[in-house]
Amino acid sequence: MKTIDTRELAAWLDATLQAPRFKDYCPNGLQVEGKPRVGHIITGVTASEALLRAAIERGADAVLVHHGWFWKNEDPRVRGPRRTRLAVTLAHDLNLFAYHLPLDAHPQWGNNAQLARVLGLEPEFDATGAPLTCGPDNLIWLGTAPGLDTLDALAERVRQRLGRAPLVVGEPGRPLARVAWCTGAAQGMLADAVQAGADAYITGEASEPTVHLARETGTGFIGAGHHATERYGVQALGQAVAQQFGIRVEFVDIDNPV
C-alpha cells in the first residue's frame, strides 16, 4: 500500500487550504500526531467517537474532518467524552487533521463551493475570476439559482438534494434573483446577506433572532442543517488528497439531525 509522510501531508493540506491566513475558533491542521506515515484516511464532518471507531475498524492511519477539537472557550480539562476520544485516538496511533474556516472558504473543495455544486447554484464572480463573497472572512457566497424562480422552489431543491426538509422562513412565492449561502452555523451572517441584496439566504442553523430579521427584511431564509450542508467539502478534499498522493481515502457519514 502506498503511503505518505504525515508531516508532508500536513504541509500540503495547510498550504492548499491557506490555513495560516484564518483567525479561527480552533487550531487548523494536524491536531493529534499519530503514525509517521499515512496510507489510509477516513474523512468525516466531525471527529466524534463514532467516527474514530469507524476509522479504527477500517484500519485507517488518519482521520480528516471539518470539525476537530480544542475549540476556544471550551473547558480544557481532559475528562468524560473528551478523555475517551483522545484515549481512543492515542491508543490506535491515529493522526487527526481538522480544517474549519479554511475548508469553508476554499474556492474549489470548500463547503460553500461544494454546496453550490450539490444544489445547482451558480456563483457570481468578481473581476479577478474569484467567487463573489461578502461577510466576515468573505465566507458568504453570492450567486443565482438557475431554473428556480421562487423561495418555495429553492426550498424544495434543498429538500431533494440534501435528503431532509429544511426550515424555511419567508413568503413561498418570493421571486429569486440573487441567492447567498454559507454552510454550518452562519445564521449570524444573515444581515450581511441582506446588505448584499440577497433574496434568499441558505445556511445550516437558525437562532431565535434569525426568524425576526428574515421576516422584517423580507429575505427568504433556509436552514438546511449544519451537518447536511457540510458533508461535501471534506469529501471533495479527501478525493483531492487521494488523487495527489495515490493513497486510500474513504468518507464515513455519521448521521446528525442538526
DSSP 230-245: TSSHHHHHHHHHHHHH
At residue 51, the 3 state secondary structure works out as: helix
User: Based on the domain organization, do 65 and 32 belong to the same domain?
Assistant: yes
Whether 258 is in a domain gets the answer: no
In a domain, 256, yes or no: no
Kindly state whether residues 109 and 217 are assigned to the same domain.
Answer: yes
Q: pLDDT confidence of 1, banded at 50, 70, 90?
A: confident
What CATH number corresponds to the domain at position 74? Answer: 3.40.1390.30
Does residue 215 share a domain with residue 120? Answer: yes
| 207-230 residue pLDDT tens | 999 999 999 999 999 999 999 999
Q: Which helix (H) or strand (E) is 208 found in, with range?
A: helix 208-217
Q: What is the pLDDT of residues 12-54, one digit of tens each?
A: 999 999 999 999 999 999 999 999 999 999 999 999 999 999 9
Closest CA to 1 of 48, 43, 54, 59: 59
- pLDDT tens for 95-129 read 999 999 999 999 999 999 999 999 999 999 999 99
Known binding residue 74? Answer is no
Residues 111-128, buried b or exposed e (16+ Cβ, 10 A)?
bbbbbbeebebebeeeee
Q: CA-to-CA distance for 45 and 4, rounded, in angstroms?
A: 23
pLDDT > 90? residue 153: yes
CA atoms in the 13 A half-sphere facing the CB of 56: 17
Q: Is 171 annotated as a binding residue?
A: no
Give mean pLDDT, residues 119-147: 96
Query: Cell match 424562480: residue?
Result: 149
- pLDDT reported for residue 245: 98
Residue 111 lies in a domain: yes
pTM summary value: 0.96
Tell whether 40 is in a known binding site: no
Tell me, yes or no, whether 130 and 66 share the same domain: no
Instruction: Answer whether residue 36 is part of any domain.
Output: yes
Shared domain for 117 and 92, answered yes or no, is no
Residue 257 covered by a domain: no
Domain presence at residue 158: yes
55 and 112 share one domain = no
User: Domain count of the chain?
Assistant: 2
> Is 67 within any annotated ligand binding site?
yes
Whether 164 is covered by a domain: the verdict is yes
Residues 6+ apart with CB under 8 A from 204: 183, 184, 185, 186, 187, 223, 224, 225, 226, 227, 228, 229, 230
Mark whether 44 and 118 lie in a shared domain: no
Q: Which amino acid is at 230?
A: E
Q: Which of 63, 37, 33 is nearest to 50 (CA)?
A: 63
Assess whether 173 and 219 both reside in one domain: yes
Residues 84, 10: one domain?
A: yes
Domain that holds residue 67: 4-99+230-251
Burial of 60 from C-beta contacts in 10 A (0-12 / 13-18 / 19+):
buried
Is 106 assigned to a binding site? no
Q: Is 53 inside any structural domain?
A: yes
Say if residue 220 is in the same domain as residue 116: yes
Question: What residues does 201 pair with on adjacent strands?
Answer: 180, 221
